[in-house]
Amino acid sequence: MTGSKQEQLQAIIADLRSALPDLRGAMIATTDGLPIAQLFTDNTDGNRVAAMAATALGLGKRINDTLGTGDLSEMSVAGLDGQVYIYAAGRKGVLAVVAPSGMNVGLLNMEARDAASRVTSVL
């Protein structure tokens, strides 16, 4: 993949949206809560999502450490109208994906895990 890191990360988000067109949004952020690349179908505040995704990732890591379940790879938060999936992307990044209710979770996880792996290699 060529181009700046920013361009590469934006391309990963675009590829994810292309593979999963029903997604309501996707974002790559740093583990300290700064947005890097994003694509949302509405006017979602990327700065807030980045901060919350990084915080959730940090909390998930602490839970895993406390319970001895190993390194955190992913987590999800479910609501009545959809779910948010948060994937660790190496030590520096986090991928957040917003999916509507009823989405094929197997396909979503397959595509998002691949995207998180690609993010890890860029960061």
Q: What is the pLDDT along the chain (123 residues), one digit of tens a residue?
A: 567 888 999 999 999 999 999 999 999 999 999 999 999 888 888 889 999 898 988 898 899 889 988 888 888 999 999 999 999 998 899 999 999 998 999 999 999 999 999 999 998
Range of the domain at 86: 5-122
The CATH number of the domain holding residue 46 is 3.30.450.30
Number of domains observed in the structure of the chain: 1
Q: pLDDT at position 6, please?
A: 87
| Alpha-carbon gap, residue 44 to 76, rounded angstroms | 18
Predicted pLDDT at 45: 87
Contact present, 94 and 53 (Cβ < 8 Å): yes
What is the per-residue pLDDT for 74?
87
Q: Please say whether the beta carbons of 115 and 16 come within 8 A.
A: yes
The structure's pTM equals 0.89
